[in-house]
Amino acid sequence: MKAGTAILEAFYQAAGQFVRVDDLGRRLKLPATAVNAEIAELEKIGYTIESHPHFGYRLLGTPDRLTADDVKAQLKSPLIGSEILVFEETASTNEVIEHLAKSGAREGLVVFAESQTRGRGRRGRAWASPRGKGLWFSVLLRPTLPTSAASRITVAASVAVARAIRQNCGVDARIKWPNDVMVNGKKLAGILTELRAEADEILLAILGIGIDVNCSREDFPGELGDIATSLELETGNAQDRVALAAQVLTTFDECYQAALTNFETVVDEWAKLCTTLGRQIVVTMGQNRIEGYAQALDSDGALLLRRDSGQIERILGGDVVVERT
């Protein structure tokens, strides 16, 4: 564990109380002079830390910026986030993950960017990523799943994002199939899963997630203002992006492991949070248009759509419009 991560972890565990220098030294296996130097480095990047000659140090404030040390200090997951990289700006975090995967990066790697110049959503659409106002990140996965079950990853991610937002921010986050997390009928987060596969074997999956955290109305120009929202707009308060990032990764670790071994539990939670089930919907896929009743998810994560004729269609993706309840 890096020194910065260990110090921040100690501060969070202390919950606002002082941490003695010798306790930090034992944790880091460093002398007091080195501990003081590490504290000074944290202060340089914006952490407010009080020092006391007898009691040691305590954390008073954190900067509004993502750091790998801070996310890892609050993380409670064995796999997802085992390695974290944070970029000030990149074209697309999915592209960074793909490049690193070719170099042998391990499963669980997470790449964050404070801003993306070519962030993308489903079907090649652009994804706006205003600097320092959201969580824009990708996760490298190497699941032991056939390609036919790839939708499990998106389902697990949507459940994780919705659950983490509900727990961390207290808003009623809901899932719109196949990959959106909504609040009050507006899009708050999007999920993009890209595969590299051979035959029916997934070699790797790149999970991209974008969450509008502290975006203002000005960040949603034109028609976006009618369909998009942020946690700050919904709650009236700026949210702690680092705490939310750690919560999402921790929750996704749980949901991902369940998707590999006990997918029924993920589907049960998804069904409780999904606004698409039980509705008459239209799914468009290019020029194709299918209308029917959104009945359930199957064991691979595909949506089962019942046509008026009674025929069941297995749908893996598309754009959804709700026709009627």
Fold of 280-324: SH3 type barrels. (2.30.30)
Q: Residue 325: what pLDDT?
A: 47
* Tens of pLDDT, residues 220-230: 888 888 899 99
What's the angle, vertex CA 129, arms to CA 168 and CA 270, rounded to 5?
45
Residue 267's pLDDT band (boundaries 50, 70, 90)?
Answer: very high
100: pLDDT strictly greater than 80: yes
Q: Is 263 helix (H, G, I), strand (E, B) or coil?
A: helix
* Tens of pLDDT, residues 64-84: 999 999 999 999 999 999 999
One-letter amino acid identity for 41?
Answer: E
CA distance 221 to 239: 22
What is the architecture, at CATH level 2, of domain 3-61?
Orthogonal Bundle (1.10)
Provide, rounded to the nearest whole percent, the portion of the chain with pLDDT above 90: 82
Domain boundaries of the chain, sorted by first residue: 3-61, 68-273, 280-324
- Mean pLDDT value across residues 197-218: 94
Output the six-digit token pair for 31: 């002398």
For the domain spanning 68-273, the CATH number is 3.30.930.10
DSSP type of residue 172: -
33 Cβ neighbours under 8 A, 6+ residues apart: none
C-alpha distances in Å from residue 129, one per residue of 209, 234, 240, 264: 11, 18, 17, 34
